[in-house]
């Protein structure tokens, strides 16, 4: 059986066109996660959604084009997520951030041939 | 096929470019899940992400050369997911697998299909076909 570790899933819900210092916010968040050597980040676009503004953003609505919802997921240890949260504080103007506990199996390319995976 | 109310959500984070045997890994995982009669699988594709290597995976204008993140989500009973984990272990080389508890409120068809509802409305459902 693979080795299962306790981890935290951080999900950040923003809009595709949210910007920070002229760059797309989701790019900045992924860049920050990379800079802080987080285990990984995945950006998932959503075709429809709404938030605090109650405006339904839908990819069928031409006007909503760049306003589509986007979810950034980062899974890492509780400590690393705890370290990341203050770093992005103030970056998100409107949006939602959630935290969940998950069990995780980290597969690292070299782990299979060399030493056993050390999470 | 039934899924209990207290189920498990398995998520597999990999790249479109990762391979398993002759094809993409994500398709291999979906096929394997189907072969092992798991309740279902959904593939989500992201335009941007990074993993253990730290290398940024991003989509570009040429869809065939994309090396973008994919997430495969599978919900089933804890037993079925636990049975699947060692199979998955054989397939995964790099990437991340997460497991969460999930409550299933609905799985599969709970009302008759459109065809059988139509037939019922027209009163032809129970009638055997005419034999000449």
Higher per-residue pLDDT: B53 or B1: B53
* A116 within some domain: no
Q: How many domains does chain B have?
A: 1
**pLDDT tens sequence across A57-66:** 776 666 655 6
Range of the domain at B79: 6-122
Q: For residue range A65-100, list pLDDT tens digits in order.
A: 567 889 999 999 999 999 999 999 889 988 899 999
Alpha carbons within 13 angstroms on the beta-carbon side of residue A6 total 3
DSSP state string for B43-68: EEE-SEEE-TT-PEEE--S-GGG---
- The domain total for chain A is 1
CATH at B34: 3.30.70.120
Contacts of A40 in chain B (CB under 8 A): 13, 49-52, 96
Q: How far is CA A103 from the centre of its chain?
A: 17
Q: Label residues B50-77 b or e (16+ Cβ within 10 Å = b).
A: bbbeeeebbbeeeeeebebbbbbebbbb
Size of interface A-B (CB pairs under 8 A): 87
CATH classification at residue A23: 3.30.70.120
**Any domain includes B132:** no
Asked if the interface predicted TM-score (ipTM) of this complex is over 0.90, the answer is: no
Q: Give the domain range for residue A34.
A: 5-111
Average pLDDT over residues A29-56: 89
Specify whether the CB–CB gap between B74 and B39 falls below 8 A.
yes
Residue B54 gets the label, from left (phi > 0), alpha (psi -120 to 50) or beta, of left
> Are B99 and A102 in contact (CB < 8 Å)?
yes
Q: Is A117 inside a domain boundary?
A: no
In a domain, B105, yes or no: yes
Among the partner-chain residues B46, B56, B96, the one whose CB lies closest to the CB of A45 is B46
Tell me if A64 is assigned to some domain: yes
Percent of chain A's residues with pLDDT above 70: 83
């Amino acid at each position: 059986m693979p080795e299962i570790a306790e981890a935290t899933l951080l999900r950040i819900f923003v809009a595709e066109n949210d910007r920070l210092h002229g760059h797309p916010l989701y790019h900045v968040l992924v860049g920050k996660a990379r800079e802080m050597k987080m285990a990984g980040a995945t950006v998932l676009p959503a075709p429809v959604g709404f938030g605090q503004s109650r405006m339904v953003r839908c990819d069928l609505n031409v006007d909503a084009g760049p306003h589509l919802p986007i979810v950034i997921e980062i899974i890492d240890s509780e400590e690393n997520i705890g370290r990341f949260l203050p770093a992005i504080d103030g970056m998100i103007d409107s949006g939602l951030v959630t935290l969940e506990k998950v069990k995780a199996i980290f597969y690292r390319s070299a782990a299979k041939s060399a030493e056993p995976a050390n999470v | 096929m039934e899924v209990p109310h207290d189920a498990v959500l398995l998520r597999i984070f990999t790249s479109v470019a990762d391979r398993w045997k002759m094809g993409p890994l994500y398709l291999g995982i979906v096929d394997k899940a189907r072969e092992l009669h798991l309740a279902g699988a959904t593939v989500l594709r992201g335009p941007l992400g990074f993993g253990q290597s730290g290398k940024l995976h991003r989509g570009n204008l040429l869809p065939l050369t994309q090396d973008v993140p994919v997430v495969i989500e599978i919900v089933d009973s804890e037993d079925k997911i636990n049975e699947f984990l060692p199979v998955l272990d054989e397939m995964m080389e790099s990437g991340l697998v997460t497991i969460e508890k999930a409550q299933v409120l609905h799985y599969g068809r709970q009302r008759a299909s459109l065809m059988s509802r139509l037939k019922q409305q027209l009163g032809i459902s129970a009638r055997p076909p005419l034999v000449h």
